[in-house]
Structure 1
Amino acid sequence: MILVTGGAGFIGANFVLDWIASTGEPVINLDVLTYAGNLESLASLAGDSRHLFVKGDICDRALIDRLLAEHRPHAIVHFAAESHVDRSIHGPAAFVKTNVEGTFTLLEAARQHWVPLPEPERSAFRFHHVSTDEVYGSLPPTAAPFTEEHLYEPNSPYSASKAASDHLVRAWHHTYGLPVLTTNCSNNYGPFHFPEKLIPLMIVNALAGKPLPVYGDGMQVRDWLYVKDHCSAIREVLARGKVGETYNVGGWNEKPNIEIVRTICALLDEMRPDPAGSYSRLIAYVKDRPGHDRRYAIDARKLERELQWKPAETFETGIRKTVRWYLDNAEWVARVQSGAYRDWVATNYSDRAVA
């Protein structure tokens, strides 16, 4: 059995589904169910004894201690995090609490659990910390992609809080010997993605005939990783990664944001034509966000070289699957777009005049 934190969120839910399907091994799924945590993403596991959901906060030390003592998981896979850059700009305190204090609480609970374990349980135990490429900062247009040796230069409250959590994980390994693994991933996309992030927001807005807001000139470049590829990479690192090491996980798909938006429009034109014309007519350039990093790019060769992992999807195959999933799951989308979500969208975009 493993303990997954944040397993009702986008990447976490995909990982729980992938883990059970791939290994058959039970999962304790701990999630506080904020706006981005959605148990409907795990509806296919209803009644499955291999999935034990626990509603709770990673800052709740007593709860973490109880779960570790009762279930004795051989690994903790730590996804739980506040993760939206725009939200971190409007309200950074929640990011420090969850991403920094929450990770600290988990590390201390894991250390207390791990130290007295008998062999071979003690040697087999792992703490896998899931992080982001944003901790490395922004790359110039022609610079080589981020490697695991790149300096940390976070530029947003979100990335700073994740960088802090990465440093805590490293310190708990070097100071206390806790057997940790860290992965820093590029931008994920795919099924069950909450519609505040670029790709699902563009799909949902386009289908509703709403503007497709593109920050600045739209030339911010990201590396895009299909979420199911990310899940397979984590399984490989958890199974065979070297304790104490960091592995970058990327999709080898650098694309500017405006190209992503135009690709989505073209796929929707093909799959769900709008009598009013191409969805690209809805593209609206808006004021850029503060401190917007210009480019991220991941060099995932270490993961390929040491663990023989490569992404299975190209961007072209992954984005087609993603658009199709949103078209086929309109009820899921409608249910996650609560009043709170609509209020957030209004807050974030109300002061961004069309450029």
Structure 2
Amino acid sequence: MPDTYKNIIVTGGCGFIGSNFVHYVVNNHPEVHVTVLDKLTYAGNEENIAGLPEDKVELVVGDICDKKLLDEIMPGHDAIVHYAAESHNDNSIVDPEPFLHTNVEGTYCLLEACKKYDVRYHHVSTDEVYGDLALDDPARFTEETPYNPSSPYSSTKAASDLLVRAWTRTYDLKTTISNCSNNYGPYQHIEKFIPRQITNIICGVKPKLYGDGLNVRDWIHTEDHSSAVWTILTKGKIGETYLIGADGEKNNIDVLHAILRGMGKDEDEFDWVKDRPGHDRRYAIDSAKLRRELGWKPQYTDFEGGLAKTIQWYRDNEAWWRPVKEATEAKYAKVGQ
């Protein structure tokens, strides 16, 4: 396994987690050239990579299911990191079809292209493929946890993971998989929980909390996710899966209280809204394998410190999110959330 790669493709590199990874590579590994392949759907924003050096980052606008395009761009690259995905649970419940197209068919097309051109492949997935845990269950997800997805989104991500495993075993494709917990940080679309609450408060609107607020998520700053993916890409064992987490379990009401405190508001200044269908109760990641075998460790171990920086980013970048705020809230209002 090489210590680095010279030319990599990052799918979904204009999305939230993908663009943060592109910034991480440019800032920490300047010897690497990054080709961003992004369809620029509602979740992909060219502004997310604006200002990065043109000699280090090239944007190709296109669909990962476009086999002709993959034939054009894949040669000359030595690795691909696959972030591109439809990823919002609420959207998958309303219309699952785009999730099947992007998450399943798109992964298949990339695997075939990597097989054809002998390109190292890293697959970015989610802890949601494991289903959920009871609130009083001391266990956490490990690489051995059986898959038990509960939404159209998580089931398509589980399907894509299984495709990667099959192509590795059947065709000896050079792959690794990572399953990560909930990310937070800059450039996250305001339909997601943390930026939605932050931007509501900035707009003078009470933030919204699903159900009873006790659903637990395992939070990790996107910078830590990026460093973990790079570690797996360059040091991971081919054919292995690594779970990425930062021991950041918190329930939704505690996260919302932290946001309210961090923005100078009373902790009870929010509105309750109805829960989403099939809302998973708890996610929790055991990242011991990644830490033990590859020597990775998170830097953002203080959640409220990372949250304060995230709040400030949304304050400083209103021009980035304001144009889509009204439409996002209108969509939530239609479903009573």
Alignment TM class, shorter chain as reference: over 0.9
Contact 1:206 1:279 in 2 (8 A): no
- Please give the alpha-carbon distance, in whole angstroms, between the structure 1 residues aligned to 2:331 and 2:56: 40
One of 203, 211, 218 as aligned partner of 1:216: 211
Contact 2:15 2:45 in 1 (8 A): yes
- Please give the alpha-carbon distance, in whole angstroms, between the structure 2 residues aligned to 1:239 and 1:49: 22
One of 113, 123, 130 as aligned partner of 1:129: 123
1:295 aligns with 2:282: yes
State the shift of 1:316 in Å: 2.2
- Please give the alpha-carbon distance, in whole angstroms, between the structure 2 residues aligned to 1:36 and 1:143: 35
Cα displacement string for residues 119-178 of structure 1 (whole angstroms, at most 9, x for unaligned residues): xxxxxx420000000000010122311000000000000000000000000000000000
Cα displacement string for residues 247-305 of structure 1 (whole angstroms, at most 9, x for unaligned residues): 00001010000110110010010xxxxxxxx3545411111100000000000000000
- Please give the alpha-carbon distance, in whole angstroms, between the structure 2 residues aligned to 1:308 and 1:66: 36
One of 71, 81, 88 as aligned partner of 1:84: 88
Moved more, 157-166 or 307-316: 307-316
1:31-110 counterparts in 2 under 5 A?
Answer: 31-45=38-52, 48-69=54-75, 72-110=76-114
CA 1:279/1:65 → structure 2, altered by over 3 Å: closer, same or farther? farther
1:352 aligns with 2:336: yes
TM value normalised by structure 2: 0.95
Contact 1:6 1:31 in 2 (8 A): yes
Number of aligned residues: 328
- Please give the alpha-carbon distance, in whole angstroms, between the structure 2 residues aligned to 1:326 and 1:35: 18
1:330 aligns with 2:318: yes
2:4 is matched with: none
One of 301, 306, 326 as aligned partner of 1:318: 306
2:3 is matched with: none
State the shift of 1:48 in Å: 2.0
- Please give the alpha-carbon distance, in whole angstroms, between the structure 1 residues aligned to 2:203 and 2:34: 37
1:117 is matched with: none
1:150-169 counterparts in 2 under 5 A?
Answer: 150-169=145-164
Contact 2:190 2:328 in 1 (8 A): no
- Please give the alpha-carbon distance, in whole angstroms, between the structure 2 residues aligned to 1:139 and 1:156: 15
Contact 2:182 2:217 in 1 (8 A): yes
One of 169, 182, 185 as aligned partner of 2:180: 185
- Please give the alpha-carbon distance, in whole angstroms, between the structure 2 residues aligned to 1:109 and 1:242: 21
1:149 aligns with 2:144: yes
- Please give the alpha-carbon distance, in whole angstroms, between the structure 2 residues aligned to 1:282 and 1:266: 10
Cα displacement string for residues 170-198 of structure 1 (whole angstroms, at most 9, x for unaligned residues): 00000000010000000000011110000
TM value normalised by structure 1: 0.90
The letter for the 1-side match of 2:314 is Y
Please report the RMSD computed on the Cα atoms of aligned residues, expressed in angstroms: 1.2
The letter for the 1-side match of 2:90 is D
1:233 is matched with: 228
1:28 is matched with: 35
Contact 1:14 1:228 in 2 (8 A): yes
Cα displacement string for residues 195-223 of structure 1 (whole angstroms, at most 9, x for unaligned residues): 00000000000111113111100000000
Task: List runs of 5+ in structure 1 lacking aligned partners.
Answer: 115-124, 270-277
1:195 aligns with 2:190: yes
Identity of aligned residues (%): 51
- Please give the alpha-carbon distance, in whole angstroms, between the structure 1 residues aligned to 2:196 and 2:331: 15
State the shift of 1:344 in Å: 4.5
- Please give the alpha-carbon distance, in whole angstroms, between the structure 2 residues aligned to 1:66 and 1:187: 34
SS at match of 1:34: coil
State the shift of 1:332 in Å: 1.6
> Which portions of structure 1, spanning 4 or more consecutive aligned residues, are displaced by more than 6 angstroms?
none
- Please give the alpha-carbon distance, in whole angstroms, between the structure 2 residues aligned to 1:160 and 1:140: 19
- Please give the alpha-carbon distance, in whole angstroms, between the structure 1 residues aligned to 2:175 and 2:203: 44
2:15 is matched with: 9
- Please give the alpha-carbon distance, in whole angstroms, between the structure 1 residues aligned to 2:129 and 2:100: 14
SS at match of 1:143: coil
